[in-house]
Every structure is written in structure tokens, then in C-alpha cells.
Structure 1
Amino acid sequence: MIEIIMPNLVGVLIATIVSFVIGAVWFAPQVMGRMWMNLLGKNEEMLRKNRNKAIVFGFLANLLTAYLLGVFVKAFFAADWLDGAEVGFLAWLAFSFTIHFTSYIFEDRPVKLFGIDAAHQLVIFVVMGAILGIWA
């Protein structure tokens, strides 16, 4: 039977909040947001319609990601921020990168859009992992 590993919940909450802030900055119009919207064929008005729902579900998705990444960090006996960042990178490579890459290929989406989304996820996973490594 698999033993359930409980991550540090303070670390999970901090990682969630930090990743949410990173996303807000990443997708700000002055950073990647304008290019991202153009590649999606959307504008701010179109995105504004679902903004509240996107914020709530985005936060919950980040919370779940941080929690499960916290489980991985503890399962790999990460002892510090660098160990945690490595676990985050491996989790990104195994789950986020591969799934996004496959989807983008089948959907014939622009390579630049994949780059923006994949790099965002990479930063999120590595930063979350580092934070969770500190709190492990």
C-alpha cells in the first residue's frame, strides 16, 4: 500500500501564492501578455469575460500543483531549495512539458505560444520546488 506523504502546508501555500504572482507578472501586457493574446487570437476584452473564473480555477490549479509537488519533494528527500528546484524541474519535464508539447503539436499551435506557456510552467515548477525544498 502506498504511504501518503504530507507536504508542509505553509510551504504549499507560499508556493501557490508566489506562483500566482509569477503568472500575473508573466502574462501582464508589458511582459508576455500582449504577444500571448495575439498568438491566441484574443484581446483583453475577450479575456475579461472569463477573468474571475480563470483567476479562481488558476489559483486552485496552482494550489493542487504545489501540494502534489510538495509530496514529490518529500518523497525525493529534498533537503534544501536546490534539491526542491531539481524535483520541480523533473516534474515539469515529465508532466507539464510533455503534455503541452504533445497538445501543441496535435493542435498545430504556434511555436512561440508553446514557448511562452512552457517557459512559464518551467519557472513555476522550479520556483515552487525551491520553495517547497526550503519548507521540506
Structure 2
Amino acid sequence: MNFYAILAATLVSLVVGFVWYNPKIFGTIWMNETGMTEEKAKQGNMVKIFGLTIIYSFLISFMLSGMVIHQVGAVQLVGGDETNASLMEFLKDKGDAFRSFQHGALHGCMVGLLFVLPITAINGLFDQKSWKLILVTGGYWVVTLTIMGAIICGWK
């Protein structure tokens, strides 16, 4: 697991958010569906919002690494014993297998589509939110997790 990849992936949520929620993309839909106004948005504590977003995005990136880098599972199989000779031989032989940007993007997308989107949809249904809002929010997370997964898995 590469710490710099996790840090880079952490910033993805902000970068994608700046683009995704731009009024020319989905920002206007999001504002209309949530009842947000520009005046109300300006009243938010931006230090708190962006600070917590970075902390939460770091936690997501950290956990996502175990889902997109399969070598983590190999180490777990031997109880974390990195001195295990068979593990070391396995990692020497297969160490970079499935360590690519494409593979990470695939698994990040799967986490977004099959885990986060359903959670977002369930919350939206109980909160009686519109399908537009559910899809804008869920779509943001699918794109964000896809890019995060690509960075985490492909950056060696």
C-alpha cells in the first residue's frame, strides 16, 4: 500500500466534486433538488466542510486500498506474517498481478455501483428525495471511487 497514492486519492473527492457540482454539470440540479441557494451555501463553515471532507476522504481511500489491492488479502491469509516464506515466494511470483490503474478503476467502480449507490439510494428513498438527487449523488460517488481505485491500485 502506497501512502502517497492514498493521499492523492484523498484529494479526488474534492477535485471531482468541484467539477461534478459545477452549475454547468450537475450543480444546478443538486441545488434545485436540495433547496440549496448560493446565499445559503456561502453561510457554511468552509474550513469545517473541507477539513472534514479531507479527513473522511482519507478514511475512504485507506479502506478502499484493501478492496482494490488483492495482495493485502494474501498477507491476511497468513495472519499478517510477512516473514512467511511461502507468502514471500507467492508475492515475488505474483506481486504485481492485478496492480494496474485499470484494475483499480474496475474495483473502485464496483464498490461505487454495488455498495455506495445502493446505500445512497436507500437513504434517499427514506428521506423522500428525488431520483434526480439520488442519481447525482450516487453518480458522484461511482466516479470518485473509480478514480480513487485507479490511483490506489495503479500507483506503485
Mind listing any 5+ residue stretches in structure 1 that lack a counterpart?
A: 1-6
Q: Which amino acid aligns with 1:107?
A: D
Which shifted more, 74-83 or 17-26? 74-83
Aligned to 1:4: none
Q: Percent identity?
A: 28
Offset of residue 15 of structure 1? 1.2
Q: Which amino acid aligns with 1:25?
A: V
Q: Is the 8 A contact 1:36 1:116 kept in 2?
A: yes
Offset of residue 51 of structure 1? 4.3
Distance across 1 between alignment mates of 2:98 and 2:13: 20
Distance across 2 between alignment mates of 1:78 and 1:100: 29
Aligned to 1:24: 18
Deviations 1:29-74 (A, max 9, x none): 2221122111101101112222412211112221111111112222
Distance across 1 between alignment mates of 2:3 and 2:29: 35
Say if 1:83 and 1:97 are closer, same or farther in 2 by CA, change over 3 A.
Answer: same
Distance across 1 between alignment mates of 2:131 and 2:111: 22
Mind listing any 5+ residue stretches in structure 2 that lack a counterpart?
A: 72-96
Q: Which amino acid aligns with 2:27?
A: G
Tell me how large the CA RMSD over aligned residues is.
1.6
Q: Which amino acid aligns with 2:66?
A: V
**Among 84, 87, 97, the residue aligned to 2:107:** 87
Q: 2:110 aligned with 1:116, yes or no?
A: no
TM superposition score normalised by structure 2:
0.76
Work out the number of aligned pairs and report it. Answer: 130
Alignment of 1:1-136 (within 5 A): 7-52=1-46, 53-75=48-70, 78-136=98-156
Deviations 1:4-30 (A, max 9, x none): xxx211111111123311111111222
Distance across 1 between alignment mates of 2:63 and 2:117: 17
Q: Is the 8 A contact 1:66 1:128 kept in 2?
A: yes
Question: Match of 1:42, SS?
Answer: coil
Offset of residue 78 of structure 1? 3.6
Q: Is the 8 A contact 1:19 1:127 kept in 2?
A: no
Q: Which amino acid aligns with 2:104?
A: G
Flag the structure with higher helix content: 1
